[in-house]
Amino acid sequence: MNNRGGRLLVWVIAVVAWPGGDARTADPGDVPKLVARRGGRIVELSAGGEPGRVRLALGGTQVSDADLDRLVTLPRLAEIDLSATLVTDRGASRLAACRTLETVDLSRTRISDEGLSALAELPRLTSLRVGFTRVRGRGLVGLRRLETLVLDGPQTSDATLKHLAGLDKLKSLSLNLSRVTDAGLSG
């Protein structure tokens, strides 16, 4: 290989490894850049709460489990919309590291009860959207602080409702397009 070919190889490696990088190895101060690369937005929340709270709007983007390692480091992260993303149970378990989360939207992801169980570690979590997922109910048992729960979709049935018995703070429950029957609601 001549010298020119060697320089080309180094340049190609630098271009592939440098700009986007792997979300797990990127500079911790680059969360806004990662969010922008994935097509999301960071929104400051001030109305009705503490000033400076943050919402990550990432619904419908290419966010993956690996990205969540970095995204949950965003200071004052109160809300995260991960609907219709590539997030799985592995990614949901990474959300447990963000103790400031109050609202999580995992609708239309590949999350199941297994991944949901990790969210019980979130001390401020009061609102959860898991419609059209693989959640059947078992993973909801430990989420006792929930006030709002969205379980839309055909995966939700009468059997799912039995797992909600201990959610004493629940004020709003959405069951749109579910298989819940009148018997399930009364019983």
Which residues of the chain have a pLDDT value below 70? 1-29, 47-51
Tell me whether residue 9 is in a domain.
no
CATH number at residue 174: 3.80.10.10
pLDDT of residue 51: 65
User: Residue 22: inside a domain, yes or no?
Assistant: no
Rounded distance between C-alpha atoms, residue 39 and residue 152, angstroms: 25
- The pLDDT > 90 percentage for the chain reads 76
Sign of the Cα torsion 114, 120, 124, 125 reads positive
Cα separation, 64 vs 76, in Å, equals 21
Range of the domain at 150: 31-186
Q: Would you say residue 23 lies in a domain?
A: no
Diameter of the chain by CA atoms?
A: 79
Q: What is the per-residue pLDDT for 25?
A: 46
162, part of any domain = yes
Separation CA 77–CA 40 (nearest Å): 14
Domain-embedded: residue 85? yes
CB 57 within 8 A of CB 80: no
> What's the pLDDT score for residue 13?
30
In tens, the pLDDT along 48-103 reads 655 689 999 999 999 999 999 999 999 899 999 999 999 999 999 999 999 999 99
pLDDT of residue 45: 86
Distance CA 122, CA 139 (A): 14
Q: Is residue 17 part of a domain?
A: no
Residue 46 lies in a domain: yes
Question: How many independent structural domains does the chain possess?
Answer: 1
Residue 18 included in any domain: no
